[in-house]
Amino acid sequence: MKIAFIGLGNMGAPMAANLVAAGHDVTGFDVAGVTVDGVAQAGSGPEAASGAEVVITMLPNGAILRRVADELIPAMAPGATLVDCSTVDVDSARAVADQAQAAGLGFVDAPVSGGVGGATAGTLTFMCGGSADAFATAQPLFDIMGQKAVHCGEAGAGQAAKICNNMILGVTMIATCEAFALADKLGLDRQKMFDVVSTSSGYSWTMNAYCPAPGVGPKSPADNDYKPGFAAELMLKDLGLSQQAAEAVDADTPMGAAALALYRRFVEDEDGKGRDFSAMLPRFETRSRG
């Protein structure tokens, strides 16, 4: 398949590399001039998109997606499919979907879960919105770049699923870190706490698969001085998107709002920027109740 890949950053570069390794013809463009082995370099996004059967974008936010879509869509061949793997607001996803449909193109919003490690290993999960036909076109590519792709509904449904998932993730990571900090002050050994909670009703992904306590549970960023697997500022972004969506549809999400406030303080006022989102644990370790 002839594919264009726009946005070759920490996530996009390994995703594009996996498509090349599977035998696809990939042309890429990134404003930072990033190059990926096996990916032909175009001088612009529209140049990359011209003649492509599928155009994949991996971009920082909805405003950039809208701007890039304005450039890409007129350059795309009728009948081609635009697959946006960015995590953006639902309104931007739906606006670009309408724009693509009006131009005779397919569109899938397909944000991912799994981080840089999942992008490299080809084990991402794709949460997808769009028509059944557009999803069917993109699914063979999802099968290369990831281990699972779920068609969640019409355009915007993929973004809705992603922000709901990551709101749960942010809230449960805070709760897990709070519990370890409390256990410390109660004199409870961290390993013993893990042994109990990981097999009891406190079981969660943040405890069992991504434990924020160094040396406890499977290897995680906590064992690498909290170097980011999923950066705190990306969690801040996703929690912001969840609260933007909640406000738009008048949904009461007090725990999501509290998590957003804590991550905002952690990233903007404390030492969270550039650290993994699980570095909330050392934050709570040093704080008193007041």
Q: Which of 162, 219, 237, 273 is catalytic?
A: 162
Question: CA 66 to CA 183: how far, in whole Å?
Answer: 46
Q: Of 51, 68, 73, 89, nearest to 12 (Cα)? A: 68
162 is an active site residue: yes
151 within 8 A of 135, measured Cβ to Cβ: yes
Question: CA 53 to CA 35: how far, in whole Å?
Answer: 21
Question: CA 155 to CA 177: how far, in whole Å?
Answer: 35
Catalytic residue list: 162
